[in-house]
């Protein structure tokens, strides 16, 4: 095998590939609007799928059977109230659309809380109950009292 000289080696050059230019002006505005819309739609979809399920209970006797103790509203409960109100805007009960007005919070065994709301747009001021885990604020489920 012979020696190779630098003159004898062919240089392999890459063909020049035209670079796509970064969008500018209207193209950039369309791109950003699409990206923001996609981000918002994805966020809403994520929240919608994580919403507390709406339970339809056969009667309202469960309210009388549970040992409830009214508790004061602190910062932790206020955060739970805000989460429940946002949850209800995204996934309300069937035929029960509207805004929730907080009424009271009651502790129930083992370590949960019922957040009781009044559905202000309902003609009979239906109550909406959220069962929430007290230790981490997880919305477990929701139901409407007297709406079945």
63, part of any domain: yes
**Shared domain check, 80 and 101:** yes
43, part of any domain: yes
Task: Judge contact between 52 and 133, C-beta under 8 A.
Answer: no
5, part of any domain: no
**Shared domain check, 91 and 123:** yes
Tell the burial category of 123 from Cβ atoms under 10 Å away from its Cβ (0-12, 13-18, 19+).
Answer: exposed
> Does the structure show a pLDDT above 90 at 52?
no
**Shared domain check, 80 and 43:** no
Distance CA(91)–CA(17), nearest Å, equals 51
Question: Average model confidence (pLDDT) for the chain?
Answer: 81
- In this prediction, residue 142 has a pLDDT band, given cuts at 50, 70 and 90, of very high
Number of domains in the chain: 2
**Shared domain check, 135 and 96:** yes
pLDDT digit string, tens, across residues 1-25: 555 555 545 566 666 656 566 677 8
Task: Point out which residues pair with 66 in neighbouring strands.
Answer: none
Q: Structural domain of residue 67, as residue ranges?
A: 54-145
End of a domain among 33, 52, 71?
52
Question: What's the predicted TM-score (pTM) here?
Answer: 0.68
Q: List CB contacts of 74: < 8 A, sequence separation 6 or more.
A: none
Structure letter (DSSP) for residue 69 = E
**Shared domain check, 139 and 75:** yes
**Shared domain check, 45 and 118:** no
User: Inter-axis angle of helices 26-49 and 75-90, to 10 degrees?
Assistant: 110
**Shared domain check, 94 and 38:** no
**Shared domain check, 86 and 33:** no
């Amino acid at each position: 095998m012979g020696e190779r000289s630098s003159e004898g080696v062919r240089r392999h050059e890459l063909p020049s590939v035209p670079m796509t230019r970064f969008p500018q002006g209207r193209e950039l505005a369309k791109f950003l609007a699409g990206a923001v819309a996609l981000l918002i739609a994805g966020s809403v979809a994520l929240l919608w799928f994580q919403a507390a399920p709406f339970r339809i209970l056969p009667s309202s006797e469960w309210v009388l059977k549970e040992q409830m103790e009214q508790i004061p509203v602190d910062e932790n409960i206020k955060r739970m109230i805000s989460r429940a109100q946002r949850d209800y805007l995204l996934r309300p009960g069937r035929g029960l659309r509207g805004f929730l007005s907080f009424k009271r919070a009651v502790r129930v065994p083992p370590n949960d809380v019922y957040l009781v709301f009044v559905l202000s747009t309902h003609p009979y001021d239906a109550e909406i109950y959220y069962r929430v885990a007290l230790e981490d604020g997880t919305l477990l489920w929701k139901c409407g009292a007297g709406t079945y």
